[in-house]
Amino acid sequence: MQQDKRVWQQNRDLAGLQNHSIT
């Protein structure tokens, strides 16, 4: 479960970075 949370947070970070790049 901890790994899943880590992946989820990483995915969120990636989405945020991509969003920043697109904006």
CA gap 3, 23 in Å, rounded: 30
Measured CA to CA, the distance from residue 18 to residue 11 in angstroms comes to 10
Per-residue pLDDT tens listing for the chain (23 residues): 788 889 989 988 888 887 776 66
| Residues shown for the chain | 23
pLDDT at residue number 11 = 87
pLDDT of residue 18: 78
Q: How many whole angstroms from its chain centre is CA 11?
A: 3
pLDDT reported for residue 22 = 60
